[in-house]
Structure 1
Amino acid sequence: MNKKAKAITITYVTKASYASLNGSDKEADNISSIKKIRMTDGMEYPYCSSQAIRRALREQLAVLGFDLSEGVQGKQKKGAGTTKCEPQNYIDDDLFGFMNASESTVKRTSPVRVTSAIALNPYLGDMDFGTNYMSVKAGGNPNIFETEIHSGYYYGTILIELDRIGVKGNDGYELAISNEKKTKRVLGLVDAIQNLWTVGRQSRFLTDMSPKFVSAALLRVKNPIFMECIRLSEDLIIQEDILMNTTKDFENVILDHTLGERKGFFNKDNDNYVDIGESFQKIRQWVNEVYGE
């Protein structure tokens, strides 16, 4: 194993043309809000929570053929449900951690760190108008409702602690897997990231959340160096200068990096960015090299 490599950081950009990615508390009985954060410019920007992103990654791992740790009811009265807490057997318990406080507390801190996917464009008050006719046959009136919707670019970051995948954190559980199995699990996660698809609100608001741009680095420290470096120009092109400056600023800890975009997706292709598929292939190469026997 390459002892120098401690983490992979992946910052991605995607686009939602007509979306309601993550529900918030209702402002009124007939209005479904989306989660928003007010930035320093005074505007509100929608976001898809880190919890929702983690859930989406888990669900995509299941689609890719991995067995997930099923939820288990808490043993204590009113106790919170948990997973099976068996990272030896289940990829999601290994990658995303767990906590079981039913008897003695057993927990694993997630080696996969996830930010929310935050919009780069503010919320402008758009609403989707809907009517539920299900109650009409029962003699009721149509139920009219509204849903907040948004169109814009979103960015998020995922940091993978390579030296903690498949490694026990305390004595409360079993975890000792081969480098081959570590490779399989992290490659599965990379596939899930490349094919990111949220599971909530997809029946009426089907959204492609897969990355259209990615800036990633193999690091000998744990630092999401690209997390605050995504900017859009007025002509909706990802600004290159801050990304290039970041690679120079952190060249002493960067073992390798890649910048990739979906060619033809943005208003203008950047010759300094490779195809996004090539970027993900490089990330897979890092994983194979790090855990190679």
Structure 2
Amino acid sequence: MNLKTQGFILLDVDVVALNNAGKSSSSNFDNAVATKKLYKNGKTYTYVSGQAWRYWWRETLKNDFGWIMSPIIKVDDKNQTFTACNPAKYPDDDVFGYMKALKDLKRDGDGNPILNKKGKEETENVSATRVSPLKNSVIVSVSSTSTEEHSSSMTRHEGNPVLYSKMEYSAIMKGMFSIDLNQVGLFSSYNKTGFKNLSDELKSEYISQDLVKEIDDPYVKTKSGEPQKLVQLEKSVREKRIVETISALKTISGGAMQTNNMADVTPKFIILATTTSGNHPFSHIAVGEGQKSERALLNIEGLKEVLNDYKEQIKGTVYIGKRSGFMDECNDSLKALEAEFENVKVLTINQAVDQYCEQVKTQLP
């Protein structure tokens, strides 16, 4: 059974500039920075890119959980970089994925380039790709958002001040993510686009060091009809990586302009569930209200609908966490869910994360 962690979060931020978009084209200031925003149905929404969210996530795992991050390799004379592509050694290669599209010289046993009949150096494909088991959306404001241009000046020098500006906003923002529990710590090496996670040499190295065990791929066959072989890390290693990835949300930090616009980007509301479905069911349980959609609300009826419609695909308990002081008008409605649905628990943010992590340990293949 293919299981996925499905997560939904809400942030509550005030006077921030979490993810900038370069020089502003609409400001009267020469030194003006725009914030990222988009337009939908005639309304403006601020957002944080999915790449920025992943950067916050990686930095939190490195700083708070001691993850050793995969080194970045720059290709000479090319606008191309890639990581070590070693997912057993580097947990971020495993969880966040990678892509290396590269050809290298073929070499003989002495390390010398092999030449073809025309005297040219032969090359071989040494590409490696891994689809990230962790997928995430952008973080976008639930309701339409007005941005304000804040002007500042640098005056600690002789002469005229240097003026600059930035765009700031306050918003309740939503994001969602999914972790493929079966794919964390599971690697393939056969020569097929999207499946070449490892070189044969690296796979052999893993096996010789007892880092992995070989298992049959239930979906991909060889030409002779036999199952292709996958390699899998020990369950304790996979469990640790998944639990720490989810737990990082309790302390995640990041965002642009933190010197003057420090913000708390830990979730103030979270839903964590395990499903057998690849589709994320919780995307529309926070909505904007009003003619201009200026107020963010929890769609409790929409949440009930999801719990009923996906009851066959939800495995175990659905954990809902909320920080006291955030959307307290929903407290009674959320607690009522516990009485209506046997598989729902409403807790604090950290309690919800911790108890879900204990559940997911029992669900790993």
State the TM-score, normalizing by the size of structure 1.
0.90
Cα contact 2:143–2:289 (8 A) shared by 1 = no
Rg (Cα) greater in structure: 2
Q: Distance in 2 between matches of 1:264 and 1:149?
A: 23
Cα contact 2:287–2:296 (8 A) shared by 1 = no
Structure 1 match to 2:218: none
Q: Distance in 2 between matches of 1:80 and 1:119?
A: 33
Q: 1:118 aligns with which of 140, 154, 160?
A: 140
Structure 2 match to 1:27: 24
Cα contact 1:236–1:267 (8 A) shared by 2 = no
Residue 100 (structure 1) shift: 1.0
Cα contact 2:97–2:130 (8 A) shared by 1 = yes
Residue 89 (structure 1) shift: 0.7
Amino acid of the residue matched to residue 23 of structure 1? Answer: N
What do residues 21-69 of structure 1 show as CA deviations (whole Å, max 9, x unaligned)? 10113124321111111011x1110000000001110000001211111
Structure 1 match to 2:311: 251
What do residues 143-193 of structure 1 show as CA deviations (whole Å, max 9, x unaligned)? 201100010100000100001001114344246311100111011101112
Residue 232 (structure 1) shift: 5.1
Structure 1 match to 2:61: 61
Which structure features the higher share of strand residues?
A: 2
Structure 1 match to 2:186: 167
Structure 2 match to 1:263: 324
Residue 215 (structure 1) shift: 1.7
Residue 117 (structure 1) shift: 0.3
Residue 223 (structure 1) shift: 1.9
Q: Distance in 1 between matches of 2:257 and 2:92?
A: 23
Q: Distance in 1 between matches of 2:276 and 2:143?
A: 33
Structure 1 match to 2:238: 182
Structure 1 match to 2:279: 223
Q: Distance in 2 between matches of 1:125 and 1:200?
A: 15
Q: Which stretches in structure 2 are left out of the alignment for 5+ residues?
A: 104-125, 189-194, 204-230, 336-345
What do residues 194-227 of structure 1 show as CA deviations (whole Å, max 9, x unaligned)? 2221243322211111011112211122221102
Q: Distance in 2 between matches of 1:232 and 1:270?
A: 19
Cα contact 2:141–2:174 (8 A) shared by 1 = yes
State the TM-score, normalizing by the size of structure 2.
0.73
CA RMSD of aligned residues (A): 2.0
Structure 1 match to 2:349: 276
Amino acid of the residue matched to residue 81 of structure 2? Answer: G
Cα contact 2:172–2:296 (8 A) shared by 1 = no
- Higher RCO (Cα < 8 Å, 6 or more apart): 1
- Structure 1 runs, 4 residues or longer, greater than 4 Å off: 232-237
Structure 1 match to 2:119: none
Q: Which stretches in structure 1 are left out of the alignment for 5+ residues?
A: none
Q: 2:13 aligns with which of 4, 12, 16?
A: 16
Q: Secondary structure at the match of 1:288?
A: helix
Amino acid of the residue matched to residue 305 of structure 2? Answer: N
Structure 2 match to 1:86: 86
Aligned residues: 284
Structure 1 match to 2:216: none
Cα contact 1:233–1:239 (8 A) shared by 2 = no
Structure 2 match to 1:240: 300
Q: Distance in 2 between matches of 1:13 and 1:123?
A: 15
**In the superposition, relative to structure 1, how do residues 253 and 203 fare at CA in structure 2: closer, same or farther (>3 Å)?**
same
Matches of residues 205-220 of structure 1 in structure 2 within 5 Å?
205-220=261-276
Q: Distance in 2 between matches of 1:279 and 1:49?
A: 26
